[in-house]
Amino acid sequence: MKEIIIYTDFVCPYCLLLERRLHKIFSNEEVKVTWRAHELRPFPVPTLKIDDEYLPLVWSNSVYHLAEQIGIDIRLPRISPQPRTDKAFEAHLFATDNGVGEIFPIAVMVAFFQQERNIGDIDVLVDIGGEVGLDREALRRALEQGAYGQKHQQALQHAKEVEQIRVVPTIIIGDNRYEGLPSEHWLTQSFENQLVDAS
């Protein structure tokens, strides 16, 4: 099975747009999508506020247009400042250990961008985990006790220092790498090249 690696932050709308584009292209292929963490604004860096100029400008100039092209209904969440995503990534590590690591990130982004749920809140993350089949109480314990905190920080360090991740999404398919939201052509071509290289 071929793998697509995506470095993401769950408050990045382009990551959800990318997921929908991938689903459109590869829904009939045997493809493993591996989501990896790269917090855009790790503590103590302040997160963005919707009453600042940046977020509304990016959404009006880019995100809404791309979402219409791809065919997904998303909106700029009114949660301000935006939630931190460290606990969501810890929950993702728990989900990975329990067999739903590929679908949990999608559920988190849908919760934020389509349902305006605060994905920085442990109660919300536990609910999302339950919706994808995780044991709610086990997930809550893991998050409250910080069971995956060190592993998450190690993942962030690896992304920054080893993989040199600076932008989300960053997509890696075989030897091909793209920063930002790639076209369908780039995704298809990179996947086909990976198949050729493996043969």
> What's the pTM?
0.96
> What is the number of domains present in the chain?
1
- Tell me 134's DSSP state: -
Distance CA 52, CA 55 (A): 7
**Are the CB atoms for 191 and 1 separated by under 8 Å?**
no
Contact 9, 85 (CB under 8 A): yes
Q: What is the CATH number of the domain that holds 45?
A: 3.40.30.10
Structural domain range at position 173: 2-198
For residue 111, what is the enclosing H or E element? helix 104-113
Q: Give residue 195's pLDDT band: very low, low, confident or very high (50, 70, 90).
A: low
Task: Count CB atoms within 10 A of the CB of residue 197.
Answer: 10
Task: State the pLDDT at residue 198.
Answer: 58
Residue range 113-157, pLDDT digits in tens: 999 999 999 999 999 999 999 999 999 999 999 999 999 999 999
pLDDT tens digits, 42-63: 999 999 999 999 999 999 999 9
DSSP 3-state assignment of 71?
Answer: coil
